[in-house]
Structure 1
């Protein structure tokens, strides 16, 4: 039986690390807008670098506030906590809110708050 010589695979050069904090603000805003209000309010917006915090505070990110899609994540949160989260999201929209979606926790007081902003 002939011996088979196996040559090692050529080493691939390491991929340089990306500095995600250096992404342009408008690109970060697009990404965070797709992420959603609940994720941003539950940590993503506060547990990151300064450039990401700045992006999560941009009104463009908060034009649509959807607090229905993630109802499973929020089902153990008290209604008062959900209202408080919604108010923070509305405030961050800075008058540019176009769509608000909520469910059982929405009260007349919250709707008045949204309209006043």
Structure 2
């Protein structure tokens, strides 16, 4: 009897393996939803490099780039930290602003007076601006900051961390924010 049990088990096969999935063929709206959940950093450092259709969605969909530099930073992973070096992150932020095609609504990053003027030109609809380290390379004052800020008529939230401090600059900035 044991030989009949063995022979009956020898003819059994497991379920067929699942069919291979073509992840490149996912519809754009589904990719967009996934990319929005990932955040800009993960899209630029990984997802957009997977295949041409994913790159196309990542580069051509302005909705992905409305909020630049706002995803959480996790420096506990040293490999991730190495990829997050200042220059790389700033380049990614500026590329993200370009990809927004003028629709960027929020920016969080470091900049100087020249970068700020460029940002205003490429992202005129900013509602939120958070500058981690603002520095004026020539005069160490905010004189070059006031004029561009006045042009951002939709701005609702402004945070600036200066690399220097001056009470005169602080008062000037407060007067701009009240206007």
TM-score strictly above 0.5: yes
The alpha-carbon distance between structure 1 residues 28 and 10, as it changes in their structure 2 partners (threshold 3 A), is same
Report runs of 4+ in structure 1 exceeding 6 Å deviation.
none
Deviation at 1:67, TM superposition (A): 4.5
CA contact (8 A) 2:68 2:107 kept: yes
CA contact (8 A) 1:60 1:93 kept: yes
Q: Which TM-score applies when normalising by structure 2?
A: 0.51
CA contact (8 A) 1:37 1:62 kept: yes
Q: Deviations over 1:18-47 (max 9, x none)?
A: 1111111121111112111112222432x2
TM-align CA RMSD: 2.8
Q: Which residue is 1:88 aligned to?
A: 95
Unaligned runs of 5+ in 1: none
Q: Which residue is 1:22 aligned to?
A: 25
Q: Which TM-score applies when normalising by structure 1?
A: 0.73
Residues matched between the structures, number: 112
Which of structures 1 and 2 has the bigger CA Rg?
2
More strand by share: 2
